[in-house]
Amino acid sequence: MNEPIDRREFLKLAGLGGVVFASGLAGCASLGGAKRDDFYFVQLSDTHWGFKGPALNPDADGTLQKAVAAVNALSFEPDFIVFTGDLTHTTDDPKERRRRLAEFRDIVGALKNRNVRFMPGEHDASLDNGQAWKELFGPSYYSFDHKGVHFVAIDNVSDASARVGEAQLEWLKADLAKQAKDAPIVVFTHRPLFDLMPQWDWATRDGAQAIDLLMPYRNVTVFYGHIHQEHHHTTGHIAHHSAKSLIFPLIAPGSQPKRAPVPWDPAQPYKGLGFRGIESAPGKAGYEITEFPVAKA
């Protein structure tokens, strides 16, 4: 893999990304004693395979494939790829749910990078407590380590009431207990763990308990989906970054009383859709986020 400065400069010069967001931690420019190597991963979210709605996305059957092609076309091979939930659009029919999940899995099977992590969203998992999702993708919450960073995937959707739940909170507590307080930790989840907009169901009912468990750790960053747009927020020293959708954008939180999707603009197809690359630089806290369009305008 190239040096990080080369990759950043390349992305900027090539104009491949949108806004590059530096996810620094206020007053904390380094990781102190914690060691973290350079790495790069890609986050995709809210693909809603199976959605039908031409006014919002007339290419609902083709956007996911375009995103896969765009990831494959990146000049820098990511270390891994993560999908942060709502892989499929919900259906009451258990057979159809499994069919959509299987089709999604087949389509993303075309990703050149084989190190792909998945998480459920409420559309995938809330109507059957994650049963179908787990059959096809395995455990809905887990952790893993990569190049000195501890990654934790938290499931706040299999419970239809948007709870992490006592059992998973206990697991999270035990998982984090093995980490040093200055260990770099990245959390993947679907819903915001904080109360972004409970009036729009943009919250996790017991998310504050998860944040309380994370708070003693000094280098925590959360990447999530659900709200179909880029958004950046901090709770204390913890940064939370939501990703764009790959089906249709939603309006900005609180911009009007009722939540609403942003209609498709034929003059600017795929506007507001995309995925992101996330880079970790050695010795630095925080991450550099580069937003990519789903298709070239």
Q: Measured from the CB of residue 3, what is the shortest distance to other proteins in angstroms?
A: 44
Helix (H, G, I), strand (E, B) or coil at 271: coil
Contact segment (CB under 8 A) with other proteins among 148-156, 217-225, 232-240, 252-260 equals 252-260
Asked if 98 touches other proteins (CB under 8 A), the answer is no
Contact segment (CB under 8 A) with other proteins among 7-15, 88-96, 101-109, 278-286 equals 88-96
Given the complex with other proteins, which of 23 and 242 has the nearer CB atom?
Answer: 242
Given the complex with other proteins, which of 64 and 157 has the nearer CB atom?
Answer: 157
The tokens for 128 are: 């059957």
Asked if 213 touches other proteins (CB under 8 A), the answer is no
Given the complex with other proteins, which of 34 and 87 has the nearer CB atom?
Answer: 87
Asked if 252 touches other proteins (CB under 8 A), the answer is no
Nearest residue to 187 (alpha-carbon basis) of 241, 237, 253: 241
Q: Measured from the CB of residue 92, what is the shortest distance to other proteins in angstroms?
A: 6
Asked if 162 touches other proteins (CB under 8 A), the answer is yes
Are 231 and 241 within 8 A, CB to CB? yes
Q: Measured from the CB of residue 160, what is the shortest distance to other proteins in angstroms?
A: 4
CA 105 to the chain's CA centroid:
17
Concatenated DSSP letters for 19-47?
-EEEE-BTTB-B-TT-----EEEEEE---
Helix (H, G, I), strand (E, B) or coil at 119: strand
Given the complex with other proteins, which of 75 and 199 has the nearer CB atom?
Answer: 199
Are 207 and 164 within 8 A, CB to CB? yes
Contact segment (CB under 8 A) with other proteins among 10-18, 28-36, 65-73, 156-164 equals 156-164
Give the integer Cα–Cα distance in Å for 90 and 239: 29
The tokens for 91 are: 């259906």
Asked if 95 touches other proteins (CB under 8 A), the answer is no
The tokens for 111 are: 């990703």
Size of the site for other proteins (CB under 8 A): 20
Give the integer Cα–Cα distance in Å for 51 and 56: 10
Give the integer Cα–Cα distance in Å for 289 and 283: 17
Residue span 126-155 as binding mask against other proteins, x where in contact by CB under 8 A, dash where not: xx----------------------------
Q: Which parts of this chain interact with other proteins (CB under 8 A)?
A: 89-92, 122, 126-127, 157, 160-162, 195, 198-201, 205, 257-259
